[in-house]
Amino acid sequence: MVLYISQGTKAVEGLTFKMPGRSAQRFSTKAFENMKKLRLLQLSGVQLDGDFKYLSKQLRWLHWNGFPLTCIPSNFYQRNLVSIVLENSNVKLVWKEMQVLIWIVLYFELFLLFIFMNAS
């Protein structure tokens, strides 16, 4: 319901949103603008439209089944992320520009790709 009415609050620390069906439901990234403490986000059957800068800078864990983009947006703050799981995604290129992460796990169908990076 929070995404439908775009009224998330700073009290929200975790959000799971799973939509049934084959076509993804579309929501604005602005729905996340006030969720400053959001640390855990799980999406399935959801497409976010807009600027990814609205997602919380406190986000630590992201699981997104059906991530629709071909690369992770460069304006998506990732410095605090510990885990990204993009299951059944369209990702072809992880980043257009180098990003700093402790570790990332991407699930592409049955194929696992692990990337380890050092923060310097």
pLDDT of residue 96: 58
Q: Whole-angstrom Cα distance, residue 7 to residue 14?
A: 15
How do the domains of the chain map onto residue ranges?
Answer: 2-116
pTM score > 0.75 for this model?
no
- Report the largest interatomic distance among the alpha carbons of the chain, rounded to a whole angstrom: 43
**Positions of the chain with pLDDT lower than 70, given as ranges:** 1-10, 94-120
Beta bridge partners of 89: none
pLDDT of residue 1: 45
Residues contacting 95, CB < 8 A, separation 6+: 71, 72, 74
- Of the chain, the percentage scoring pLDDT greater than 70 comes to 68
pLDDT of residue 102: 38
- CB-hemisphere CA count at 13 Å for 99? 22
